Amino acid sequence: MIVVMKAKASETEFKKVIERIKQENLDVHISKGKEVRIIGVVGDVRRIEPEVLQAFDGVERVIRILHPFKLASRDFKPENTTINVDGVIIGGGKFIVSAGPCAVEGEEMLTEVAFLAKKCGASILRGGIFKPRTSPYSFQGLGLDGLEILQRVKEKTGLPIITEIMSPEHVGLISQYVDIFQIGARNMQNFPLLQAVGRTEKPVLLKRGLMASGEEWLQAAEYVLSEGNPNVILCERGIRTFEGYTRNTLDLSIVPVIKKLSHLPVFVDPSHGTGHWDLVTPMAMGALAVGADGIMVEVHPNPEKAFSDGPQSLKPKVFAEMMQQLAKAAEAFNRPLPFSSERITIPGNETQKGS
């Protein structure tokens, strides 16, 4: 249930409504828009009838939320959420690119990719230190040893860092090193993990689960929001279907659906979404076209030798070409540009083969 206050409602009227809600042992979340304040009532709302709150002075209307998520919904917060990551504004209209290797393999390769990403207009560096691999025998990542590498590369390039977190007990340590927590597709419904990152203020990029509906995904976001952390970015990364030509089926149609239902920024990951490097650029262009707030892509100096996800990782030249195309397309879509296509130079002439 949400309570929309009148634009002219006084502070006392506002407080009286909150007091009444709390009498029922219900919790409140406040959304302060340009003109009105909205009170989100959370808990077992059957304890209080909407008419009771409607009768209070200063209340414009009381709405029962039909969605199983509240704080993530546009009813609760009509304006887009913007998230400031070290000066990079996510959800503010610019198309933000996060790029980097699937896994942090070492400092040298991460530094190389980070400088390339920066030069080509990417704003955030990605790199996994914990790799939730399907097989326990595959490379599992450098673990906490990778944190120092991430930190040093951040110092060198100034790019904010996103890395996947897999365990609630790592929240305190990892938050000292990175700028965004990534919750992977396999952990989308790891509720203790969602609650643990929800108790921080650090931005959280929440990937859509392999088999999750949009509604389940938004409820997972609600777990983070309801703990008090408003900084959630959703990321579509493909779902499992009967289609075998691609690793996953990238559901670009969910982007405008989610943007209609929710105020949270939405990213797209065309690398995991397709599994093939030559499908990444077309899907990245698609992400821009459907109104995503940004993308996350995998780049590797030498994909043939990558410890993980080589087949879907872009070589530097292909990445630079993609960034150029995106920059030009963003101009055509009349969206504010985070980088201009002229600034991007294509490194080397090495071609990428196979897919």
**Positions that interact with ligand PEP (CB under 6 A):** 102, 128, 132, 164, 184-186, 207, 237, 269, 272
Toward ligand PEP, which CB reaches closer, 42 or 232?
232
Among ligand PEP, Mn ion, none, residue 207 binds (CB under 5-8 Å by kind): ligand PEP
Toward ligand PEP, which CB reaches closer, 10 or 167?
167
CB 123, min distance to ligand PEP, A: 17
Using the contact rule CB under 5 A, the part of the chain among 72-80, 99-107, 192-200, 329-337 near Mn ion is 99-107
CB 75, min distance to ligand PEP, A: 29
Toward ligand PEP, which CB reaches closer, 186 or 335?
186
Q: Is 179 in the site for Mn ion (CB under 5 A)?
A: no
Q: What is the DSSP letter of 1?
A: -
Q: What is the spatial distance between Cα 223 and Cα 225, in angstroms, rounded to a whole number?
A: 6
CB 284, min distance to Mn ion, A: 15
Q: Which of 37, 90, 309, 316 binds Mn ion (CB under 5 A)?
A: 309
Using CB atoms, what's the residue nearest to ligand PEP?
Answer: 184
Q: What is the spatial distance between Cα 104 and Cα 129, in angstroms, rounded to a whole number?
A: 6
Q: Which residue type sits at 192?
A: P
Among Mn ion, ligand PEP, none, residue 184 binds (CB under 5-8 Å by kind): ligand PEP
Is the distance from CB of 64 to CB of 20 less than 8 angstroms?
A: no
Q: What token pair was written down for 80?
A: 């887009």
Q: What is the spatial distance between Cα 5 and Cα 294, in angstroms, rounded to a whole number?
A: 33
Toward ligand PEP, which CB reaches closer, 48 or 96?
96
Q: Which of 9, 38, 83, 102 binds Mn ion (CB under 5 A)?
A: 102
Toward Mn ion, which CB reaches closer, 72 or 103?
103
The vertex-198 CA angle with 261 and 101, nearest 5°, equals: 85
The neighbour count for residue 135, using CB atoms within 10 Å, is: 7
Phi/psi of residue 46, each to 5°?
A: -65, -15
Among Mn ion, ligand PEP, none, residue 29 binds (CB under 5-8 Å by kind): none
Toward Mn ion, which CB reaches closer, 127 or 198?
127
Q: What token pair was written down for 182?
A: 């990534």
The neighbour count for residue 290, using CB atoms within 10 Å, is: 17
Toward Mn ion, which CB reaches closer, 222 or 269?
269
The candidate with the shortest Cα–Cα distance to 2, out of 25, 30, 32, 24, is: 30
Supply the Cα-derived Rg of the chain in whole angstroms.
21
Q: What token pair was written down for 217?
A: 């995904």
CB 95, min distance to ligand PEP, A: 19
CB 55, min distance to ligand PEP, A: 48
19: helix, strand or coil: helix
Maximum Cα–Cα distance across the chain = 70
Using CB atoms, what's the residue nearest to Mn ion?
Answer: 102
**Binding-site ranges for Mn ion (CB under 5 A):** 102, 309
